Structure 1
Amino acid sequence: MRKVAIVLVLLIFGVVIAGCIGQTQTTPTTTETAEEKVTSTTTTTNTVSETQTPAPKYPLTIVDFAGREVTIEKEPQKIVSLAPSITETLYFIGALDKVVGVTKFDNYPENVQEGRTVVGGFSDPSIEVIASLNPDLIVGTSMHLKYLEQLEKIAPVIIIDPKSIDEIYKAVELLGEVTNKEEKANEVVNNMRSKIEEIKSKVMDAPKVKVFYIVWSDPLMSAGNGTFIHDLITLAGGENIFGDTQGWPQVSIEEVLARNPEVIILPPHAGMNAEDLCNTQLVNTDAVKTGRVYTLSSDDIVSRPSPRIVKGLEEIAKFLHPDVFNFTYQPLVCEATAG
């Protein structure tokens, strides 16, 4: 019996010793793992911290449409816009609240001049008025390069002057970058591209329509190659009958009759309206004979290089291909024909 007790004591003592030895051997491993975890966590935290701290955006240096490098020291809060198209673009990208000065021709969005200082006309802004606003950014077009030296004494100056649809995209993106509105600017560009591609796709297989665009009535002027109007007619599935000219050609009634448009388009302010065509030799064109004379809702949607140019494209496409767009329009009816 005593021997059994001694054996049990020895067995218990052995188990205890084994447990202590095991614990002693595994403790360093646990401690080491913990240290590694601490090191790993610290490294991860530092990495996340570095990732979450973006590089400062300003000062920002950009190249404008005149090929000039312009540095903007801080995010603009007081912008003077020297063109209606620039004001419109700033509105679309969500930066209109930064605009303190506009021209007397700015009319979009509605009441845009309210609460803002009118700095003059498009081609003749007042340098004194601009300076009184103490802006931190001035945005103009190539029209304003002649004032550049004076304007640069007031604030950084950026020239925005797109000549094509693709350059309108670039203008939107550049203004988005400058005003810290990149995300909204990208959204605007993507929406423009999507809408234009949708229209192009719809008219792709439709027959081309011969178009005469009246810019002004006396002297009679049209739109040639190198203009937004020409580009919009082409994108809308039309053929500009004066597409072989450049800019804004003065044309004769005889030339128009010889080219015989199927559609005539004019803006609200062309010095004449659709009914006036009934009293001219243009009554002998296919366009007037079939009543296919259309008036745009606004001059600005085809002449201003802003996101609203898509609205101009939509209207022209409906005029040229009413069946494709389920568009109905009251045809022009002339009671009498010109001799």
Structure 2
Amino acid sequence: MKKSKLLGVLFLVAIVFVSGCIGSSSHTQNTSAPSTTLSPTQTQTETTSSSCNCPKAKPYYPITITDFAGRNVTIEKEPERIVSLAPSITETLYFLGALDRVVGVTKFDDFPPGVQEGRTAVGGFSDPNIEVIASLKPDLILGTSMHLKYLDQLEKIAPVIIIDPKNMEEVYEAIGLLGKVLNKREKADGVIQFMKAEVSSVEFRVANKTRPRVLFISWWNPLYVPGNDTFQDSLIELAGGENVFHDAKGWAQVSLEEAVARNPEIIILSAHARATIDDICNSPLANTDAVKNGGIYFVSDDNAISRPGPRLVDALKELSYFIHPEAYGYHFQPVSCPVEG
């Protein structure tokens, strides 16, 4: 019995010895063959290329857009030096978080506060200084239809995009277009959604209410009013009113007699209209329901209501206060003509 156990142990030792020899022989043959050592970078590259045949991400630029003048404009690279030829455009760039790219503005830009600091004034709104603009070496110029007459000169400096909205819907389009040009689409979408929410809030408050006749005076002498295809006309409608000159086209010059004949119930004056309460009370407008019932209002921030940008929602809310104060649970105090005697 002991002998058989001893033979079994010796048999196992023999098997282990033979296996070790075979493994050693195999190892010797492998080390004698040529070998290649991959660096970490090579290994990563080989692994990636073998496991994924992924397409390269398409670069955002160049892009081609169609501006408000119907022009196709190609932007080759992300704009870093922008000249804005309108305060409304500058304000929109601010809300898009792109004000740091603006190197030139008009002398009338005043929002946000301090916007002139560190930037070059390139002239007025209607009379930009081409030489100053060129000296700034911009890679993008943003203007309005007012600047089409300078287009040939401006295009020699940099790509030019015309932004010229006429109503609230087109203001949304303008914001979206600038978001696309500046690779800030998500930011633009956020601004647009915020504005639409504010508009919806006002529309909800004034829904199903009577629409009083509204005369909006942009300029007093001669008398200018907003007609259809203007954002002020759009705001009056959204605020629950009826623009008495909705049938006019654009900003129209009208006579006092024509304004009286339309008998507005509410008169709203731009702060820049160059008119006082005495001007209104001592004019033929004194015979309108608006003056007789003390329905005269002055806007608090003329720039908010005259610049087609994100701040139009602030102007809209103020107009709705004037037109439908009952929708807000209080009576907004209008201006009345002084009582004689």
> What amino acid maps onto 1:93 in structure 2?
L
CA distance in 1, matches of 2:117, 2:97: 17
SS in 2 for 1:288: helix
> What amino acid maps onto 2:125 in structure 1?
F
Matched, 1:311 2:303: no
> What amino acid maps onto 1:271 in structure 2?
R
CA distance in 2, matches of 1:335, 1:115: 47
State the match for 1:78 in structure 2. Answer: 81
After TM superposition, list the pairs within 5 Å mapping 1:46-125 onto structure 2.
50=54, 54-125=57-128
C-alpha distance after superposition, 1:257-298 (max 9, x if no partner): 322211110011111123432222322222122211111112
CA distance in 2, matches of 1:44, 1:82: 50
8 A Cα contact 2:168 2:235, kept in partner: no
State the match for 1:38 in structure 2. Answer: none
Q: Which region of structure 1 is more displaced relative to structure 2, 140-149 or 327-336? A: 327-336
After TM superposition, list the pairs within 5 Å mapping 1:1-339 onto structure 2.
50=54, 54-336=57-339
> What amino acid maps onto 1:322 in structure 2?
P
8 A Cα contact 1:275 1:334, kept in partner: yes
SS in 2 for 1:249: strand
Question: Cα–Cα, structure 1 residues 156 and 256, in superposed 2: closer, same or farther, change >3 Å?
Answer: closer
> What amino acid maps onto 2:286 in structure 1?
V
8 A Cα contact 1:275 1:332, kept in partner: no
Normalising by structure 1, what TM-score? 0.82
Runs of 4 or more above 6 Å deviation:
42-45
8 A Cα contact 1:60 1:72, kept in partner: yes
8 A Cα contact 1:278 1:336, kept in partner: no
CA distance in 2, matches of 1:146, 1:335: 47
SS in 2 for 1:211: strand
C-alpha distance after superposition, 1:292-321 (max 9, x if no partner): 111111222222111111111111111100
1:323 to partner: Cα distance: 0.8
1:327 to partner: Cα distance: 4.5
CA distance in 2, matches of 1:210, 1:282: 14
8 A Cα contact 2:216 2:267, kept in partner: yes
SS in 2 for 1:213: strand
Taking only the aligned residue pairs, the percentage that are identical comes to 58
C-alpha distance after superposition, 1:94-128 (max 9, x if no partner): 00010000011111111211110000111111111
Question: Cα–Cα, structure 1 residues 116 and 252, in superposed 2: closer, same or farther, change >3 Å?
Answer: same
CA distance in 2, matches of 1:45, 1:103: 57
CA distance in 1, matches of 2:269, 2:283: 15
> What amino acid maps onto 1:143 in structure 2?
M
> What amino acid maps onto 1:287 in structure 2?
A
Normalising by structure 2, what TM-score? 0.82
1:133 to partner: Cα distance: 0.5
8 A Cα contact 2:66 2:72, kept in partner: yes
Structure 1 unaligned regions, length at least 5: 14-41
> What amino acid maps onto 1:331 in structure 2?
P
Question: Cα–Cα, structure 1 residues 148 and 221, in superposed 2: closer, same or farther, change >3 Å?
Answer: closer
Question: Cα–Cα, structure 1 residues 272 and 117, in superposed 2: closer, same or farther, change >3 Å?
Answer: same
CA distance in 2, matches of 1:61, 1:300: 32
CA distance in 2, matches of 1:106, 1:257: 36
> What amino acid maps onto 2:222 in structure 1?
P
CA distance in 2, matches of 1:74, 1:327: 52
RMSD (CA atoms): 2.9
